[in-house]
């Protein structure tokens, strides 16, 4: 495949960890991690995650477990939230040590921040998010243009999906208006429903499409597909317009055949998911977290993951729109020479 924007996910999830790389780095890091003492670690850290049934919360839980298991913190917990925008609020307010967020959401928040206030920094790119535009299989909707005059769920107000979706609708040449109520012409009626509430509405017929940005497969979508029968719409044609207006946060990615039984492979829009901290985060905690990401990557793969370029050594340092925290950058430099 020669398309520089194309990223399929055909490998088994363990293969994409690059076992040789991870094993070699684990040998470098394990002594340092095992040497953590109660005097040089925080008593507690929190990882702001996402909604139940999505990758954010599952990854946040796995990372929290690893941070506690390997002595990076005395106690580590994952927070259930609405998604990226909520997580950034938690982080900047000091209510979370780490947060997962879409790169477009994080960059927008960083650009809008007060220059005198604490900033946002990246610890690493942890995986690729895949935008799902989900419709019922019996809906007759075959492309995004078919959403004109329809009602769609576009994510909770605190989610990254709620930022990305209006950009997608705009790139499709459509306009959006808040619901409830019918839309006319090229207008899409949008409702701020999260993953689980939106899927329930899609199954009942009160919305005709759902947008969601997450890993592949997303467990809640898989369950709804099994019960109802769903279809995914191809969004790849929107990339040129997205990139032209908003920058290089968006890639062409493939949801492979078999990710959801009976649904054919479909090209869609990918957005990097970043693990973030405050720019004033403790350097030792950040470095030890990088050591977990690299040396114990196999502990951090959500159980349902098909791969999604998860924690590959090449992608960890690719944090579009945000600089690495200095302690994270130093750790990666040491690893790569």
Residues 77 and 12 in one domain: yes
User: Given 244, 270, 296, which residue is the final one in a domain?
Assistant: 270
Question: Which of 22-26, 43-47, 304-308 is the most confident on average?
Answer: 43-47
Residue 1 forms part of a structural domain: no
Bridge partners (DSSP) of residue 189 are 151, 177
Global pTM reads: 0.82
pLDDT band at 5 (very low <50, low <70, confident <90, very high): very low
Residues 281 and 180 in one domain: no
Residues 116 and 210 in one domain: no
CATH number at residue 258: 3.40.190.10
User: Given 217, 247, 270, which residue is the final one in a domain?
Assistant: 270
pLDDT band at 80 (very low <50, low <70, confident <90, very high): very high
Residues 93 and 162 in one domain: no
Residues 263 and 288 in one domain: no
Cα gap 40→53, rounded to integer Å: 35
Smallest CA-to-CA distance from 174 within 241, 232, 129 is with: 241
Residues 224 and 188 in one domain: yes
Residues 260 and 290 in one domain: no
pLDDT at site 117: 63
C-alpha 31: how far from its chain's center?
Answer: 31
Instruction: Provide the residue range defining the domain that includes 48.
Output: 6-128+272-336
Mean pLDDT, the chain, integer: 85
User: Given 270, 302, 318, which residue is the final one in a domain?
Assistant: 270
For 194-243, what is each residue's pLDDT tens digit? 999 999 999 999 999 999 998 888 889 999 999 999 999 999 999 999 99
Long-range CB contacts (within 8 A, 24+) of 204-207: 205/136, 206/151, 207/151, 207/152, 207/153
Residues 121 and 227 in one domain: no
Residues 250 and 157 in one domain: yes
- pLDDT above 60 (res 19): no
Residues 221 and 259 in one domain: yes
Residue 277 forms part of a structural domain: yes
The three-state secondary structure class of 276 is strand
Residue 240 forms part of a structural domain: yes
- pLDDT above 50 (res 310): yes
Residue 86 forms part of a structural domain: yes
Number of domains in the chain: 2
pLDDT at site 91: 96
The three-state secondary structure class of 166 is helix
For 46-64, what is each residue's pLDDT tens digit? 999 998 888 889 999 999 9
Residues 319 and 295 in one domain: yes
Between CA 229 and CA 238, with CA 235 as vertex, the angle to 5 degrees is 160
Residues 194 and 287 in one domain: no
């Amino acid at each position: 495949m020669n398309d520089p924007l194309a990223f399929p996910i055909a490998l088994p999830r363990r293969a994409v960890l690059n076992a040789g790389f991870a094993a070699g780095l684990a040998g470098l890091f394990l002594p340092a991690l095992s040497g953590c003492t109660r005097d040089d670690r925080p008593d507690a850290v929190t990882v702001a995650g996402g909604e139940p049934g999505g990758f954010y919360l599952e990854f946040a839980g796995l990372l929290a477990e690893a941070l506690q298991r390997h002595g990076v913190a005395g106690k580590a917990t994952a927070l259930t939230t609405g998604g990226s925008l909520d997580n950034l609020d938690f982080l900047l307010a000091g209510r979370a040590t780490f947060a997962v967020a879409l790169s477009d959401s994080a960059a927008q928040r960083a650009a809008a921040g007060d220059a005198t206030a604490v900033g946002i920094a990246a610890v690493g790119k942890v995986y690729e998010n895949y935008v799902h535009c989900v419709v019922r299989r019996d809906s007759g909707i075959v492309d995004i243009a078919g959403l004109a005059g329809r009602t769609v769920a576009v994510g909770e107000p605190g989610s990254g999906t709620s930022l990305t979706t209006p950009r997608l609708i705009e790139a499709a040449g459509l306009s959006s208006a808040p619901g409830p109520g019918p839309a006319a012409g090229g207008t899409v009626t949008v409702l701020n429903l999260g993953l689980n509430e939106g899927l329930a509405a899609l199954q009942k017929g009160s919305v005709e499409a759902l947008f969601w940005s997450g890993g592949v497969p997303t467990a809640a979508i898989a369950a709804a597909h099994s019960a109802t029968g769903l279809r995914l719409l191809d969004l790849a044609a929107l990339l040129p317009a997205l990139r032209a207006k908003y920058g290089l946060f968006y890639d062409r990615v493939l949801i492979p055949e078999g990710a959801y039984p009976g649904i054919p492979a479909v090209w869609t829009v990918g957005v990097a998911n970043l693990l973030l901290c405050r720019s004033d985060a403790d350097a030792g905690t950040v470095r030890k977290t990088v050591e977990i990401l690299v040396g114990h990557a196999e502990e951090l793969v959500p159980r349902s993951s098909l791969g999604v370029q998860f924690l590959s050594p090449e992608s960890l340092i690719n944090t579009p729109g945000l600089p690495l925290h200095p302690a994270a950058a130093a750790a990666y430099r040491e690893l790569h020479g």
